[in-house]
Amino acid sequence: MSKTLTKKELRAPDSFQEIAGRMAKWTEANITVLVGLAIAIIFISMAWIGYGYYTKYQEGKAEAALFPAQDQLIKTILTNKDAPIQIKDYVDVLKDHSHQNAAALSAVQVIGALATRENTESLQKEILTSVSLGFSQNTLTTGFWKLTEGQVLARNGELASAKQAYKDVIQNSKLKEFHPKALLELGALSEKEGDLEGARDFYSRVVREFPDSEARKMADKLLIHIDLLGEPSSGS
């Protein structure tokens, strides 16, 4: 049988009313703090939106400035093999936008074109060092940039720095799609230094961790190559 409430109990505030009352009093006492917090949240949101627009504007500005210089330079490199390569004008523009993703992507393309010409290693290095890109939020940009950095440093004989560039890639889980290429490059550098076991380890990681990748086919061939290098010659 249910309990019948007395008039006194009916007039008494229930738990919900008590909690609501305490919250109202707390809000009244801390109204300044709450208003300040709300304003701060609005300000941060507006600043973030503004930063996004500013970043897009800066990227667009960099692309507009870089494309003409990049296009002209690449045409000269690829179509006129006998013409001297002048990169000063391009590098000047590159430095003006050195922190932008557009600068890194442009430099990757120009360095790729330079790599088709002999004795351009120092020019590639000059372009590389004209960009000040850290780890971009754009993982594609970062991946291509770090691989290019490793290649340019290796071509200039800076093997330790080249290795570090590739290790930066494989240690970053967000750059997973670039890991196979970085592992192959690390294997090639180890092989160049005479460390066949180190090279084998890197190639084996490609086979083990990326069995369905295109890089796996290359790794299989390179492992056979390592085995042949490790075999004693018939005359020994």
pLDDT, mean of residues 24-50:
62
What's the whole-model pTM score?
A: 0.74
Which H/E stretch holds residue 72?
helix 31-79
Q: Name the one residue in this structure whose structure tokens are 């990326």.
A: 210
Structure confidence at residue 234 (pLDDT): 46
Mean pLDDT of the chain: 84
Residue 57: what pLDDT? 75
Kindly report, residue by residue over 187-232, the tens digit of the pLDDT.
999 999 999 999 999 999 999 999 999 999 999 999 999 999 876 5
pLDDT at 50: 57
Number of Cβ within a 10 Å radius of residue 66? 23
Task: Go through the domains of the chain in sequence order and give each one's CATH number.
Answer: 139-230 (1.25.40.10)
pLDDT tens, residue by residue, 97-149 = 998 999 999 999 999 999 999 999 999 999 999 998 765 567 889 999 999 99
- On whether the CB atoms of residues 69 and 110 are closer than 8 A, the answer is no
Please tell me what DSSP assigns to residue 4.
P
More confident: 138 or 2: 138
User: Which tokens hold the place of 218?
Assistant: 């290359």
What pLDDT is recorded for position 60? 87
CA distance 141 to 137: 8
